[in-house]
């Protein structure tokens, strides 16, 4: 079913309304209660909007663990996260919590989720349970746009390159140190590494995306870290320029669904002294190509 778009850029796709929140990526979807038994047509509309906007947001969703998992299963296959133990009642839902006395948040750096796995997740769903009165927004960046803004010569140079992604980078350790100590699902000494193409082709849209990130990408495959640093440093700065990004302000009951294959995200750590609790599900992906 095609979208119809009005003068304000709001698209209607049958039963849902899709409202972009920025020029680069991101849209809010209204007209659907995710706690309902969704028919295939509505799920297809949501999926089309998600592929078009890379990250979509739903407001005022009242979902218990069962209904949250049920919606996630309509999009993909939920998988366990390697470093944080899931909820006792729902092992594939993890609690992303920052307590009032903590100053380090979880994943507080630009990244694509678990790029150090051989099959990184296709997507992530994040549901707001408790939020601070101000702050705690999440930023997202469009890796299609980052790729397309590169010069033809740079694209040609990057095309054959692969990058080594590792769970052992210092910045990653900093963002999960408290969670590893208190709630690890695996041995803290476990290190995951994977080689992936620097330019990834999305398996559903066929578009190319820049697939390196400052949190996980350690070096270019076949090169030392020192040799890799100038080029990777340029790419890390390039891919999160403001014109490639959007910013989402959470409310209790807000849900985000982002495409991990072509978008990065960064939870902003600006709410010290307040409690923030999110529930997260990751969806099984494939080998980047």
pLDDT tens figures, 126-139 = 999 999 999 999 99
CA distance 256 to 128: 9
Active site residue 196: no
Q: Of the listed 48, 53, 92, 113, which one is catalytic?
A: 113
Active site residue 88: no
Q: Which residue has the tokens 């409690």?
A: 275
Q: Alpha-carbon Rg of the chain, whole angstroms?
A: 18
Active site residue 111: yes
Q: Of the listed 48, 92, 176, 280, which one is catalytic?
A: 280
pLDDT tens figures, 56-70 = 999 999 999 999 999
Q: Of the listed 53, 92, 111, 279, which one is catalytic?
A: 111
Res. 189 pLDDT band, cuts 50 70 90: low
Active site residue 265: yes
What is the model's pLDDT at position 148?
98
Quick one: fold of 4-283?
Double-stranded beta-helix (3.60.130)
Q: Please tell me the pTM assigned to this model.
A: 0.90
CA atoms 147, 153, 159, 160: torsion sign = negative
pLDDT tens figures, 212-223 = 999 999 999 999
Would strands 55-58 and 27-30 be described as parallel, antiparallel, or unpaired? parallel
Give me the DSSP letters along 166-196.
ETT-HHHHHHHHHHHHHH-SS-TT---EEEE
What is the model's pLDDT at position 180?
47
């Amino acid at each position: 079913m095609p979208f119809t778009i009005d003068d304000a850029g709001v698209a209607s796709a049958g039963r849902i309304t899709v409202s972009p929140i920025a020029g680069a990526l991101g849209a809010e979807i209204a007209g659907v209660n995710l706690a309902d038994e969704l028919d295939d047509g509505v799920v297809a509309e949501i999926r089309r909007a998600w592929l078009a906007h890379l990250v979509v947001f739903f407001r005022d969703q009242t979902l218990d663990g069962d209904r949250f998992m049920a919606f996630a299963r309509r999009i993909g296959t939920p998988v366990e996260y390697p470093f944080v133990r899931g909820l006792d009642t729902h092992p594939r839902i993890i609690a992303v919590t920052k307590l009032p006395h903590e100053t380090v948040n979880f994943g507080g750096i630009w990244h694509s989720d678990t790029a150090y796995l051989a099959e990184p997740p296709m997507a992530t769903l994040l549901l707001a349970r408790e939020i601070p009165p101000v702050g705690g927004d999440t930023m997202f960046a469009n890796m299609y746009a980052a790729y397309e803004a590169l010069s033809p010569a740079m694209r040609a140079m990057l095309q054959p390159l692969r990058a080594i992604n590792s769970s052992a980078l210092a910045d990653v350790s900093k963002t999960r140190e408290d969670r590893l100590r208190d709630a690890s699902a695996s041995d803290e000494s476990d290190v995951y590494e994977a080689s992936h193409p620097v330019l990834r082709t999305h398996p559903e849209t066929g578009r190319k995306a820049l697939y390196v990130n400052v949190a996980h990408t350690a070096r270019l495959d076949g090169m030392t870290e020192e040799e890799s640093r100038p080029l990777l440093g340029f790419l890390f700065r390039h891919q999160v320029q403001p014109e490639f990004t959007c910013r989402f302000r959470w409310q209790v009951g807000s849900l985000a669904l982002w495409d991990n294959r072509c978008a990065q995200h960064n939870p902003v750590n600006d709410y010290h002294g307040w409690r923030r609790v999110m529930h997260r599900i990751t969806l099984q992906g494939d080998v980047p190509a």
